[in-house]
Structure 1
Amino acid sequence: MTFVEAFSILVTVVGPPKILLAFLVDTDGADSRRRWRVALTSTVIAICTGLFVVAAGRLLIHLFHISSGALMLASGVILFVHALDLVLGRKQEPHHDPTGGTHELATAFYANPVAVAYLFLMAEASTWSTGLVLAGAYVAVIALDFVAIAVLGILMRYVRMTYAWVLVRILGVLLAGLGVDLIITGLEDLHIIGEVS
């Protein structure tokens, strides 16, 4: 696994498009001080969670005797369900968050099940050297998210949310296709179906 490969995969599941929109929705109407606090706290949580999974992922997978095929199948199902939420517009209604957006952004977007499943999947297939590459790629993606919040978030405030939701729908369709592909690969790896050309 190269840095570019790991980076490109992680950008699709926890990259700036999803993070920016989540940040704007969760901190709507907040002052700049609270926005920065949410951004910094969420970034720290994201980095700690991701690096823990990268470091302990292989051990946990072997401890629970989870095959790579089963993990790939689970990742595909989670990704597909998540993509349906994006396409169908579910989970977009605002609700009260006592942390002011930090909890929602950190758990539902940075440390979301799709990203965690991908990190487990890539950590299981990596060696110590490629594990360092994976960790570096993950930190780079989170850093890119933070920069996007700091710079592009200001510009996005002047973009109508309707246009942003349209982009989310497009991203959802692409992620659904990726989820189906992972499901098929997992089924092949588990020898439930034959190789699909």
Structure 2
Amino acid sequence: MELLDRFVTLWVVIDPIGTVPVFIAVTAAMTAPERRKTALLAACISAGVLLFFLLFGQILIDALGISLLSFQTAGGIILFIFALTMIFGEAKHETDIHATDADADLDQRPSPAVFPLAVPSLASPGAMLAIVLLTDNNEFAAADQAITAGVMLLVVLIAYLCMLAAGPIIRLIGNSGAAIVSRVMGMILASVAADLVISALLEIGQSGLH
């Protein structure tokens, strides 16, 4: 029963199904091999980030004196900013004079597999918090950590398979459809981000009153 609870918790916070629209939005212009490579890289990076928080998250947060609610607030703000870029699109240059510089800037940007797919879509602030809360990092309970890691890797694997299945969807809806999906997902992500921040602030306020 405890194993099922961990699976459900990590399924909700990692949200493999919810990652598919984001994947469609950021990979619509890619070829099929590029999409497969992006999906694999995103799954591996997100798994690595979550494993790091599983092993060292609580220790790092305690060492820095950061509360989990502060971490949740910061993650919600970052997620909200990213959601705005999905809704309104990225800023474009007014002229083509600096086209070469623009291309150079594009080359320096992180791969979509890193941002936004691995972080914050798969390894979301909620997922990082859940990993920390599901494992007692201070005690280094190896068996407990191994169970949580196994469940997390299973959910990430499912997310990877879901991203692979997005290829036929992209071919069906085309670039225009992907743009619409991107805007809708941006609205949803903005709502999720706002909820993260509001719930953290409310909890901080309640704890202050007591």
TM-score if structure 2 supplies the norm length?
A: 0.70
Residues 126, 91 of structure 1: CA spacing in aligned structure 2 closer, same or farther, 3 A cutoff?
A: farther
- Return the letter of the residue paired with 1:59: I
1:12-61 Cα offsets, whole Å, 9 max, x none, are 79722212332333xx2x473x5544443443333222222222211111
Secondary structure of the residue aligned to 1:125 is helix
The gaps in structure 1 that reach 5 residues or longer are none
**Structure 2 equivalent of residue 69 of structure 1:** 69
Q: Which runs of 5+ in 2 are unaligned?
A: 94-101, 137-142
Asked whether the 8 Å contact 2:54–2:145 carries over to 1, the reply is yes
User: Which of 165, 174, 196 does residue 160 from structure 1 map onto?
Assistant: 174
Aligned to 1:191: 205
Shift of 1:104: 0.6
Q: Does 1:22 align with 2:29?
A: no
Classify 1:14/1:55 alpha carbon distance in 2 versus 1 (closer, same or farther; 3 Å): farther
Alignment deviations for residues 141-171 of structure 1 (CA, whole Å, 9 cap, x no partner): 4323322343331442242211122122112
Where does residue 7 of structure 1 map in the other structure? 11
- Superposed, 1:172-191 pairs within 5 Å as 172-191=186-205
Q: Distance in 2 between matches of 1:192 and 1:111?
A: 33
Preserved CA contact (<8 Å) 2:43 2:118? no
| The structure with more radius of gyration | 2
Deviations 1:128-149 (A, max 9, x none): 4876665445433432332234
Q: For the Cα contact (< 8 Å) 1:6–1:134, is it kept in 2?
A: no
Report the structure, 1 or 2, having the larger helix content: 2
Supply the distance in 2 between the matched residues of 1:150 and 1:70 (Cα, whole angstroms). 35
Distance 1:39 1:65, change over 3 A: same
- Asked which structure has the greater RCO (Cα within 8 Å, sep 6+), the reply is 2
Percentage identity across paired residues of the two chains: 23
Distance 1:183 1:123, change over 3 A: same
Q: Give me the whole-angstrom Cα distance separating, in 2, the residues matched to 1:42 and 1:36.
A: 10
Letter in 2 for 1:17: P
**Aligned residue in 1 for 2:96:** none
Q: Which of 105, 115, 124 pairs up with 1:108?
A: 115
Q: Is the 8 A contact 2:25 2:181 kept in 1?
A: no
Over 3 Å counting, the alpha-carbon distance change for 1:75 and 1:149 in structure 2 is closer
Cα distance, 1:163–1:193 mapped onto 2, change above 3 Å: farther
SS in 1 for 2:197: helix
Match of 2:130 in 1: 122
- Identify which range, 154-163 or 176-185, moves more after superposition: 154-163
Deviation, structure 1 residue 64: 0.8
C-alpha distance in structure 1 between counterparts of 2:45 and 2:81, whole Å: 24
CA distance in 2: counterparts of 1:86 and 1:19, whole angstroms: 12
The answer (yes or no) to whether the contact 1:21–1:164 under 8 Å persists in 2 is: yes
Give the count of matched residue pairs.
Answer: 189
